[in-house]
């Protein structure tokens, strides 16, 4: 294939409108000076008519986003527009020109007259429009290429999978993190430049996860040098941005005159952004510096993978919480676990045992991955031990099994473990240093259950003693982790709040929801709640 120039533009209307498309097209025409004026006018007019139609009709007048790709070959020009509009038929049927006095209805016939082929396909919720016009110079010798797939459509599909990979990473618009900031800080010192950034290319913007330098954390994609970097796997070095052919508008005299960037990848290999350094004046970048930049980029890459693995770990941990509701007529059970980080050391659990159920709420010292691993172990050990004995037997067996692990990691675990007889309402429990379980009576009286033993991992000689309580109609047993206390001024205030929540709520789920609303966004520690409520008579 001969020479080819391709550009993809991203438009969201509003705020963009057809004038944004005109401006974008001008930047395309600027790099293909040999394109005949007639071809340029025809494809521009056709693209504008199509764009106007999509803006007006594709999303029934609501905002619509689309990608427009223009490819100029030596024998033809192709324009592909992909929009996310819900309307799958904008009416590209041949209708002919309307009457001379008509004030509308000429757009579609004009498109058909201006280009050699018009195609529409709907794929997975997207409309793909392709316009092809044979260039004047080649008009006599070449039949315009028709049909799919063309280079332009594959470019658009690449962009979509890229976007999806970026979103799955779950990093966009998250707060700054030291593990990324240290790399950009180090880079500015290492290279002696005015700035460094970790930039991700999201739809029509560049968003910076980390930034040293005086630029906003969000800029239009059209102004982004990193958006050019992600077009290939190569390190992009622009010693003098004012001399960057075709991208002269990206540099800012006196502020942004040098750029070097290396692509960053999603786990699936999609180029999602770039690690870059930049300076206020033009400069040389040596081979050695290129190698260092790549090393730093692979460091950032590792940190990005950790983000991805953490969010996987979070999914796994949430999966360990009981998914099934217990079928216990006359009883209502609910729970929640909000880790302060991606994963946490708290968990709750329940499962049927005999004529009732077993309940656990545990809090492993610390936060994050280490405590999550211990928490998963505690859950598994307790579950298997519960099959063979009563409450004390289960806790005893679990404590014995865990002793080695807890000793060697220096971690301890507070635990509330209970058995409920669903017929009598009798609750037998062991409280290992937890002390954050309450029984709220329907009358408004609330009682905190006494801790019966020290936490697991403190003293292997502990003798586990069970206590018994009774839940009557309308009573609720509420067990929480100490993260809940952080939401209040103290234990007394927490107790009061929990009491009023229990009195006002009509189900266990409502109690949990009220606590969740309180904790969301403000909890510094893992917040876990377990509620067992006996239906009111």
Partner 1 sequence: MDLVSIQHPGGITEVSLDGRLNMVTAARVREAIHEAIVANSPNVAVDLSRTSFLDSSGLGALVWGFKAAREAGGDLRLVSPTEQVKLVLDLTNMNSTLRSFDSLDEAYPRG
Residues numbered 56 to 85 that lie near partner 1 (CB under 8 A) are 56
Considering the complex, what minimum distance in angstroms separates the CB of residue 96 from partner 1?
10
With CB under 8 A as the contact rule, the residue among 1, 102, 489, 517 that binds partner 1 is 102
Minimum separation from the CB atom of position 286 to partner 1 (A): 46
SS in 3 state form for 266-277? CCCCCEEEEEEE
Q: How far is the CB of 91 from partner 1 (least distance, A)?
A: 14
Q: Does 522 bind partner 1 (CB under 8 A)?
A: no
Of 228, 225, 165, 234, the C-alpha closest to 196 is 225
Between 109 and 474, name the residue whose CB sits nearer to partner 1.
Answer: 109
Find the binder of partner 1 among 4, 63, 97, 306 (CB under 8 A).
Answer: 97
CA-closest candidate to residue 340, choices 374, 306, 309, 317: 317
* DSSP structure string for 392-461: HHHHHHHHHHHHHHHHHHT--EEEEEEEEETTT-EEEEEEES---EEEE-TTS-EEEPPP-BPPBTT-TT
Residue in the block written with tokens 């067996």: 397
CB of 110: closest distance to partner 1 in angstroms?
Answer: 6
Q: Is 101 in the site for partner 1 (CB under 8 A)?
A: yes
| Residue 286 interacts with partner 1 (CB under 8 A): yes or no | no
Q: Kindly tell me which residue out of 104, 324, 327, 408 binds partner 1, with binding defined by CB under 8 A.
A: 104
The 3-state secondary structure of 135-199, one letter per residue: CHHHCCCCCCCCCCCCHHHHHHHHHHHHHHHHHHHCCCCCCCCHHHHHHHHHHHHHHCCCEEEEE
Q: Is 186 among the residues that bind partner 1 (CB under 8 A)?
A: no
The smaller minimum CB distance to partner 1, of residues 22 and 450, is found at 22
Question: What is the closest distance, in whole angstroms, from the C-beta atom of residue 34 to partner 1 in the complex?
Answer: 17
Place of tokens 């990979």: 165
Contact 197, 185 (CB under 8 A): no
Query: b/e per residue, 484-512, with b = 16+ CB within 10 A?
Result: bbbbeeeeeebbebbbebbbebeebbbbb
The DSSP 8-state label assigned to residue 482 in this structure reads G
Shortest approach of partner 1 to residue 139 CB, angstroms? 16
Query: Looking at beta carbons only, is 49 or 346 nearer to partner 1?
Result: 49
Cβ-contact 78, 152 below 8 angstroms: yes
Near partner 1 by CB under 8 A: residue from 49, 332, 346, 482: 49
**Stretch in the footprint of partner 1 (CB under 8 A) among 40-48, 63-71, 283-291, 346-354:** 40-48
Asked if 375 contacts 382 with a C-beta cutoff of 8 angstroms, the reply is: no
Determine the interface stretch with partner 1 among 17-25, 145-153, 271-279, 371-379 (rule: CB under 8 A).
Answer: 17-25
* Least spacing, CB of residue 43 vs partner 1, in Å: 12
Q: Is 224 in the site for partner 1 (CB under 8 A)?
A: no
Q: Does 360 bind partner 1 (CB under 8 A)?
A: no
Q: Does 42 bind partner 1 (CB under 8 A)?
A: yes
Asked if 230 and 273 touch (Cβ cutoff 8 Å), the reply is yes
What DSSP designation does 57 have?
I
Question: Which position among 32, 52, 151, 314 is part of the footprint of partner 1 (CB under 8 A)?
Answer: 52
16 sits near partner 1 (criterion: CB under 8 A):
no
Point out which span in 27-35, 37-45, 175-183, 243-251 binds partner 1 (CB under 8 A): 37-45
Tokens linked to 423: 């017929």
Q: Please tell me whether residue 44 binds partner 1 under the rule CB under 8 A.
A: yes
- Give 343's strand partners: none
Measured from the CB atom, is 112 or 127 closer to partner 1?
A: 112
Q: Is the Cβ of residue 15 or residue 319 nearer to partner 1 in the bound state? A: 15
> Helices 151-169 and 287-320, interaxial angle, to 10°?
60
| Max Cα–Cα distance, the chain, nearest Å | 99
CA distance 48 to 249: 24
Give me the least distance between CB of 101 and partner 1, in Å please.
6
Binding pattern for the stretch 105-144 against partner 1, x by CB under 8 A and - elsewhere: xxx-xx--xx------------------------------
What spatial distance separates the first Cα and last Cα of the chain, rounded to whole Å?
Answer: 81
- Per CB under 8 A, the segment of 1-9, 11-19, 269-277, 494-502 that binds partner 1 is 11-19
Closest CA to 530 of 439, 462, 453, 447: 439
Question: Vertex 137, ends 133 and 138: CA angle to 5°?
Answer: 65
Q: Shortest approach of partner 1 to residue 137 CB, angstroms?
A: 18
Give the binding-site size for partner 1 (rule: CB under 8 A): 28
**Closest to 296 in 3D by CA, of 247, 342, 347, 262:** 262
- Residues in contact with partner 1 by CB under 8 A are 17-19, 22, 37-38, 41-42, 44-45, 48-49, 52, 55-56, 97, 100-107, 109-110, 113-114
């Amino acid at each position: 294939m001969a020479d080819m120039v391709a550009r993809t533009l991203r438009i969201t209307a509003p705020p963009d409108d057809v004038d944004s498309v005109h401006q974008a097209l001008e930047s395309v025409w600027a790099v293909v000076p040999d394109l005949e004026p007639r071809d340029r006018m025809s494809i521009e007019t056709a693209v504008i008519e199509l764009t106007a139609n999509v803006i007006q009709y594709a999303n029934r007048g609501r905002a619509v986003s689309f990608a427009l790709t223009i490819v100029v070959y030596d024998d033809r020009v192709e324009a592909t527009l992909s929009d996310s509009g819900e309307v799958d038929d904008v009416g590209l049927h041949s209708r002919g020109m309307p009457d001379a006095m008509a004030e509308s209805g000429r757009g579609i016939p004009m498109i058909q007259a201006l280009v050699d082929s018009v195609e529409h396909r709907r794929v997975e919720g997207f409309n793909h429009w392709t316009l092809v016009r044979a260039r004047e110079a080649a008009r006599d010798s070449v039949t315009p290429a028709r049909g799919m797939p063309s280079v332009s459509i594959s470019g658009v599909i690449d962009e979509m999978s890229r976007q999806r990979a970026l979103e799955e990473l779950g990093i966009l618009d998250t707060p700054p993190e030291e593990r990324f900031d240290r790399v950009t800080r180090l880079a500015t010192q290492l290279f002696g430049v005015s700035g460094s950034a970790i930039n991700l290319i999201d739809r029509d913007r560049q968003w910076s996860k980390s930034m040293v330098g005086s630029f906003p954390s969000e800029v239009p994609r059209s102004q982004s040098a990193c958006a050019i970097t992600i077009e290939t796997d190569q390190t992009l070095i622009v010693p003098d941005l004012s001399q960057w052919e075709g991208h002269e508008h990206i540099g800012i005299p006196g502020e942004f005159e040098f750029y070097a960037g290396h692509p960053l990848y999603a786990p699936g290999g999609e180029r999602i952004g770039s690690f870059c350094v930049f300076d206020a004046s033009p400069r040389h970048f040596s081979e050695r510096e290129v190698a260092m930049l790549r090393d730093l980029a692979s460091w950032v890459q590792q940190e990005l993978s950790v983000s991805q693995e953490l969010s996987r770990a979070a999914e796994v941990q949430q999966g360990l919480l009981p998914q099934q509701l217990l079928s216990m007529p006359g009883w209502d059970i609910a729970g929640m676990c909000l880790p302060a980080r991606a994963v946490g050391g708290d968990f709750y659990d329940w499962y049927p045992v005999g004529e009732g159920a077993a309940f656990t709420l545990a809090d492993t010292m610390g936060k994050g991955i280490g405590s999550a691993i211990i928490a998963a172990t505690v859950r598994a050990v307790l579950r298997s031990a519960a099959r063979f004995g009563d409450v004390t037997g289960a806790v005893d067996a679990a404590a014995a099994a865990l002793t080695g692990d807890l000793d060697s990691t220096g971690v301890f675990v507070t635990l509330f473990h209970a058995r409920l007889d669903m017929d009598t309402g009798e609750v037998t429990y062991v409280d290992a240093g937890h002390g954050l379980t309450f029984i709220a009576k329907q009358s408004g009286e609330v009682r905190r259950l006494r801790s019966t033993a020290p936490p697991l991992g403190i003293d292997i000689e502990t003798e586990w003693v069970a206590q018994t309580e009774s839940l009557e109609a309308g009573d609720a047993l509420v067990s929480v982790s100490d993260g809940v206390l952080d939401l209040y001024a103290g234990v007394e205030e927490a107790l009061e709040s929990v009491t009023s929540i229990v009195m006002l709520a009509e189900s266990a789920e409502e109690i949990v929801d009220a606590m969740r609303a309180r904790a969301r966004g403000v909890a510094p520690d893992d917040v876990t709640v377990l509620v067992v409520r006996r239906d009111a008579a």
